C-alpha cells in the first residue's frame, strides 16, 4: 500500500521556492541590510533597493555576486514573496497602493518564516525513517499552511516564536529518527551549534552528525562523507564542499549551497542543484 505522503507533499519545486515573477520585489524593499561582505551598501527596511526596477526586476540580477550583493544571491523566501503579493494582498502592489505598503512589509518576514517551516516539514514528510511521527508532522504542516492564508491583521497577531518552537520540536524528533542507526558515526566531538569556522575537515567521516546551527564558515570539507547529516540553520558561507557526499542529508536548503563553494563532484539530495558559480 502506498504511503500518503507521496501524493500531496512532494512539492520542493513549486510553492516552497521563490517565484519572483509573481512577487512585488518584497525582499528588495521590506528587508534591511548593512554594508558588509554580503551587501555593497546600507539599506533600511521599507526602502526600495536602488537596483529594483519599476517591473520589480533587479537591474544587476546577472551580476549580483560580482557587484557585492552576495547576500541577495543566497537569500530564499521559500515562496513567501508570491504568497504575500498574490494571496495575502490579492495582487495589490505597494507602489499602486501605498496605503498597504507598511502592513505588507511587516507581513512578509512573518510569512517567510512560516514558509521556511513548511519547507522543512515537507522534507520531513519524505523521510521513511520518520514514518512513526508522520501524522504529527502532517498535522503541523496543515496547521502552518493554514496560518499563511490568514488576513494581514491575523498574521501580524501570530506568536511566531511559539509556533516555531512547536515545529522545531517535531524537526528535532525527525532528525533523531533519521540519524539513529547511522553506522560508523564519527568519533569527533562535532555537532549542534559548534564554532567550526575555518575548520579542516577534509575527508572526514561526518555521517549522521547533527550540524544544527553550526558555524561552518570557510570550513574545508573537501571529500567529506556528510550523508544523513542534519544541516538545519548551519552557516555554510564559503565552506568548501568540493567532492562532499551530501546525499540523504536533511534540512539542507538551496540558499545554504549558494553560499558555499563546491564542484561537479559534490553529491546532493535530489531536490537540490549545483549552484551556477560552482561550475
- Bigger pLDDT: 13 vs 264: 264
Q: Which three cell numbers stand for residue 173?
A: 524528533
Dist. CA 72–CA 12, nearest whole Å = 21
Q: What is the pLDDT of residue 4?
A: 41
Outline where DSSP puts E strands in the chain. none
Cell matching residue 248: 540523504
pLDDT, tens digit, for every residue of 92-135? 999 999 999 999 999 999 999 999 999 999 999 999 999 999 99
Query: What's the mean per-residue pLDDT of the chain?
Result: 92
In angstroms, rounded to a whole number, what is the distance separating the alpha carbons of residues 83 and 163?
19
Q: How confident is the model at residue 54 (pLDDT cuts 50, 70, 90)?
A: very high
Q: Which three cell numbers stand for residue 251?
A: 534540512
Q: What is the pLDDT of residues 91-101, one digit of tens each?
A: 999 999 999 99
Confidence (pLDDT) at 2 = 36
Q: Which of 177-181, 199-203, 249-253, 257-261 has the lowest mean pLDDT?
A: 177-181
Confidence of residue 193 (pLDDT cuts 50, 70, 90): confident
- Residue entry with cell 494582498: 89
Q: Which residue has the higher pLDDT, 157 or 73?
A: 157
Q: Compute the half-sphere exposure of residue 119: CA atoms within 13 Å on the CB side of its CA.
A: 28
d(CA 67, CA 143): 41
Is the distance from CB of 26 to CB of 104 less than 8 angstroms? Answer: yes
pLDDT at 153 over 60: yes
Which residue pairs, CB below 8 angstroms and at least 24 apart, start in 3-7? 3/131, 3/134, 4/138, 5/125, 5/126, 5/134, 5/138
- Looking at residue 1, what is its pLDDT? 31
Inter-CA distances, 158 with 27, 148, 169, Å: 21, 10, 18
Confidence (pLDDT) at 16: 93
Residue 65: helix, strand or coil by DSSP? coil
**3 state SS of 79:** coil
Arithmetic mean of pLDDT, 260-277: 95
CATH topology of domain 184-279: Pectate Lyase C-like (2.160.20)
Judge contact between 235 and 257, C-beta under 8 A.
no
Give yes or no for residue 208 having a pLDDT over 70.
yes
Instruction: Write out pLDDT tens, residues 157-185.
Output: 999 999 999 999 999 999 999 999 887 65
**CATH 2.160.20.80 intervals, the chain:** 184-279
Torsion, Cα of 110, 111, 116, 122 (10° steps): 140
- Rounded CA-CA distance 273/271 in Å is 7
Least confident range from 3-12, 48-57, 82-91, 154-163: namely 3-12
Pairs from 33-36 (Cβ < 8 Å, separation ≥ 24):
33/71, 36/71
pLDDT on residue 8: 54
- The values of phi and psi at residue 42, to 5°, are -80, 150
Nearest to 130 by CA among 167, 165, 170, 169: 170
Q: Please measure the distance between the N-terminal and C-terminal CA atoms of the chain and give it in whole angstroms.
A: 42
Retrieve residue 213's grid coordinates.
546551527
pLDDT above 60 for 225 = yes
Amino acid at each position: 500500500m502506498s504511503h500518503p505522503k507521496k501524493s500531496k507533499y512532494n512539492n520542493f519545486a513549486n510553492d516552497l521556492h521563490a517565484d519572483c515573477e509573481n512577487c512585488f520585489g518584497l525582499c528588495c524593499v521590506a528587508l534591511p541590510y548593512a554594508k558588509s561582505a554580503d551587501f555593497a551598501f546600507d539599506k533600511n527596511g521599507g526602502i526600495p533597493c536602488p537596483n529594483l526596477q519599476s517591473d520589480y526586476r533587479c537591474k544587476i540580477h546577472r551580476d549580483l555576486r560580482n557587484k557585492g550583493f552576495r547576500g541577495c544571491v543566497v537569500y530564499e523566501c521559500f515562496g513567501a514573496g508570491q504568497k504575500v503579493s498574490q494571496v495575502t494582498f490579492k495582487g495589490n502592489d505597494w507602489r499602486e497602493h501605498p496605503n498597504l505598503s507598511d502592513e505588507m512589509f511587516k507581513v512578509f518576514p512573518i510569512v517567510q518564516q512560516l514558509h521556511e517551516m513548511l519547507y522543512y516539514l515537507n522534507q520531513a514528510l519524505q523521510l521513511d525513517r520518520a514514518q512513526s511521527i508522520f501524522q504529527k508532522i502532517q498535522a503541523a504542516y496543515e496547521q502552518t499552511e493554514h496560518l499563511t492564508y490568514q488576513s494581514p491583521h491575523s498574521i501580524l497577531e501570530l506568536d511566531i516564536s511559539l509556533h516555531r518552537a512547536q515545529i522545531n520540536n517535531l524537526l528535532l524528533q525527525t532528525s533523531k529518527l533519521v540519524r539513529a542507526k547511522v553506522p560508523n558515526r564519527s568519533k569527533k566531538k562535532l555537532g549542534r551549534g559548534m564554532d567550526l569556522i575555518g575548520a579542516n575537515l577534509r575527508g572526514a567521516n561526518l555521517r549522521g552528525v547533527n550540524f544544527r546551527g553550526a558555524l561552518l564558515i570557510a570550513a574545508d570539507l573537501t571529500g567529506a562523507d556528510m550523508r544523513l547529516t542534519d544541516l538545519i540553520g548551519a552557516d555554510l558561507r564559503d565552506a568548501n564542499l568540493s567532492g562532499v557526499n551530501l546525499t540523504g542529508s536533511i534540512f539542507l536548503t538551496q540558499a545554504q549551497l549558494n553560499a558555499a563553494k563546491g564542484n561537479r563532484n559534490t553529491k546532493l539530495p535530489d531536490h537540490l542543484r549545483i549552484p551556477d558559480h560552482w561550475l
